Structures are given as structure tokens and as C-alpha cells.
Amino acid sequence: MSKLVIIGNGISGVTVARHVRKLSDMNILIISAETEHFFSRTALMYVFMGHMKFEHTKPYEDHFWQKNRIDLKQGQITDINTDEKILTLASGEHIDYSQLVLATGSQSNKFGWPGQDLPGVQTLFSYQDLELMENNSKYAKRAVMVGGGLIGVEMAEMLISRGIQVTFLVREDRFWGNILPHGEAELVQKHAEHHGIDFRFETELKEITADVDGRVNAIITNTGEEIACGFVGLSVGVHPNIELAAKSNIAVGRGILVNDFLETNIPGVYAAGDCAEIEVVDGRNRIEPLWYTGKMQGETLAKTIAGKRTQYERGVWFNSAKFFDVEYQTYGFVSNEPVDGIESFYWQHAEQNICIRITYQHETQIVTGINTFGIRMRHNIWQNWLANNCTLKYVLQNLRDANFDPEFYRRYEKDIIAAFNQQHPNNQLTLSPLQWLSKRFTKEHTYA
């Protein structure tokens, strides 16, 4: 019987296994060096903060895998022999396969800073990193986060929950400046400062120094400032984990090279998730290090493995995150800096950490993207609006349809329309009372 082996038990690898099982009776084995069972990586912070135990981060009960005939093995793969279709583990054990999926995820970036490997310096990506953070932060009174990534935000919130002061070094002139326009960046910055974060903008790490015991005791910035600290968190992005593939005859670039079907250069060998680099004919190859796209790739690849070759189509770009208690969503494309031919409408609540930015083409008024903080939006609504080239007028007049906040939450659509009319006195929007009634998106809506 055909045997599928999946290296990596993150969202991509596990999604492949689950969906192949729905479509096929083939043998399935997941191998991971990190943990035996799949867990929610984004929930690690809540274990540290005491909101849940590690077992609560597992989306499936331990018996789920045996019930669905998905075998699990904890171990480190050291070699892939694609000619013989054999994997070698660090223990010396050999495992054969018929089809192989590489879902090896990402690794944290390091840039050769002096002291970057000192005790007390780390990132947060794996379960082992969580255990290390428990030890590294035990006696720290102050921490420095390097880089303005989401992992840094999570680590900062974790440390603050234990009374540890946090200073953030951010290379850009604003928080998440490579992603967010000024309005949203300022909102997040002020909210983070309210929670106790001390920012250093346009500041980079130069060196990490140690005490007499060899543990981190300070960092030195490129401006010459020395900041005493007992913990340094590295949050300067990630890159595809290709170490295992690179030792084999599987083609790699920045990531493991795959086509639109997530197939590598070796028949029967695939890659999905953070480690995959999708080759494109025109433009730059794509790497998609997101939970959502990892899941989508896993679902698509499962069809190919089960016998129905299916092309991966990402569709409308989207992402979400959480900055302390402020939720963030983005759909389509919203540039962090002005773009020729693209305009934006921005509304922010006068008192609360709530805002939206809608970008649109100047000539056609077709909406190209949205950022929203503090207001939940329905994914299917925005996917349809962007896919069908809806205009700004249409989107604003039907914005209530997209609101996903629970019942009895305050609505802000009238305030948003009022702000638009104030900013655009020659392009006023008027709404009938019926347009404010709760309704659902249907195919009968006119995109005009």
C-alpha cells in the first residue's frame, strides 16, 4: 500500500494528513523533532502567561490520530535519499516512503550580531523556545526586543505579564513601519506604550554583551546607547527551513522550490507552508509564511497526493494578528507608503483603538484593500468584494454586511460614512434606513 510520509507537524503538514485521510486509505506517517502532537503555535504565549496549559493548545485529542489511522513519530530526520525513497533519522533508523511532503516550516533570522548566541538571548518559535523562555526570563527585570515583528509583540506581552520592563528596538521610523501606514502604526504604538513598552525608533542592534557568568547583561545600539537587560528577544523575521532539503537533490532557492502544484523537482516529493518557495513565470517567487496560507496549501496538496492533481491558488491576500487586546485584519493590498494611482480613506475613532483604512484606485474607484483594527470583518464578504472589483461607494454603503462583531457590539458604520462625507464634500454618500438593517451578503448584490 502507498505510504505518505510528512516531515513536520505544523499546520501545513497536519492539514495534508487530515485531508489525505478523507480522500484516501493510504498509510500516513507524520514525523516531527519538536513535539509528538500538533499544537497551536500562536497559543504558546498564553501558556507562558498562565491562561492555559500546554495540553489545551492541542486542537485534537491525543486519540484523534489513532482513530484516523495517522501514525506519529517524534524524531530528527538527518538525510533524505530520494533515489531509494528512504529517510534516515538521527537514531540511525530508516523509514521508506512512496510520497514525501516537506513541511519543515521557518527558522528565525539572525544577522551575526556579537553576542547573539549568549544565554538569555532567544526567539519564540518552537515548544523548546517556550521552555527556554521560562528559564531565561526567570531573573530578568528588563528585556530588550530586537525588531518589530509579531513574534516580538507576543514576547513583549508575555514578559510584561510577569512584571518585566520591555524596550523595543525598531529599525523603521514607526512600529511595523514596513507593513503599516502612519495612522495605524501610531495607533498600535500608543496602545503598546500604554501597556508599558518603551520604543527606540530608527535604532538597530550593534552588540549584545555578557556579565562575568557569561549571560546577557546589556545591549549596545548603533547610536552607542547601552541598555542594561537580562533578556534579549530576537524578532527580525524568519526564513524557510531548508537545511534538510539542501543536503539532498531536492532543488532549493530561498525556500524549497515548488511549482503551482507544490511539486518539487523530484517526482512524488512536495513542499508546503513556510518552507515552500513557489516559482512564478514573471516577477519574484513567492514565500508565504502565514498560518492561513499554510492551511490552504495543505488542503490543496492533499488532493494531488490522493490522485486529483490540483493547482494551488491563494486568492485574495489576507492576514490577521493581535496587538495586546486590539485585533488586526487586512485584506487585499494596503501599502505602508503612498502609491501612485492609489488613494485611501482612513477613519479612526476619537477615543478608542479602532480604525479602518480602505485603499482604492483613483480613476476607477475600485477598492484594492483594507486594514482594520478593533472591528472584525467577515472574510467571505471581503474576498467577494475584492474579487469582484467593488467600488468604494459600494463597499462603504454595504460595510455593515462585513461586520463580524458579536451581537450588541457597538456599530461604527454611520460614523465612518459621516467621516467620509466630511473628507469628500463633493462625493457625499446617502443611505436609506433599509441599508442600515442587518443583512447578509448574497450573489444577487450588484457590484457597482
Average pLDDT, the chain: 92
What SS3 class is residue 354?
coil
CA 249 to each of CA 183, 197, 291, 315, 367: distance values in angstroms, whole numbers, following the listed order: 48, 46, 28, 31, 44
In the predicted structure, residue 410 carries a pLDDT above the cut 80: no
Residue 78 contacts residue 246 (beta carbons within 8 Å): no
Torsion (CA) 176, 52, 294, 8 in degrees, nearest 10: 120
Query: For residue 243, which amino acid is it?
Result: E
Whole-angstrom distance, CA of residue 147 vs CA of residue 176: 9
Long-range contacts of 190-194, Cβ-Cβ distance < 8 Å, separation of 24 or more: 190/353, 191/323, 191/324, 191/326, 191/353, 192/153, 192/156, 192/168, 192/323, 192/324
Is it the case that residue 447 has pLDDT exceeding 50? no
Q: What is the pLDDT of residue 407?
A: 62
Cβ–Cβ < 8 Å for 15, 295: yes
- Domain spanning 3-107+239-305, CATH architecture: 3-Layer(bba) Sandwich (3.50)
Average pLDDT over residues 170-175: 91
The two domains 3-107+239-305 and 121-236 share their CATH topology (first three levels equal): yes
Q: In whole angstroms, what is the distance from residue 432 CA to residue 402 CA? A: 18
Domain-wise residue ranges, the chain = 3-107+239-305, 121-236, 318-436
**Which band of pLDDT confidence, cut at 50, 70 and 90, is reported for residue 411?**
confident
Query: Lowest-pLDDT range, 59-63, 119-123, 286-290, 439-443?
Result: 439-443
Closest listed residue to residue 290, CA positions, set 317, 269, 271, 263: 317
pLDDT of residue 329: 96
The CATH-assigned architecture of domain 121-236 is: 3-Layer(bba) Sandwich (3.50)
pLDDT at 425: 86
The C-alpha atoms of residue 224 and residue 202 are separated, in whole angstroms, by 13
Instruction: Say what the pLDDT of residue 10 is.
Output: 96
* CATH class of this structure's domain 318-436: alpha beta
Q: What is the pTM of this model?
A: 0.90
343: confidence class by pLDDT, cuts 50, 70, 90: very high
Summarize pLDDT for 230-243 with one digit per residue, the tens. 999 999 989 999 99
The amino acid at residue 169 is L
Cα distance between residue 302 and residue 235, in whole Å: 32
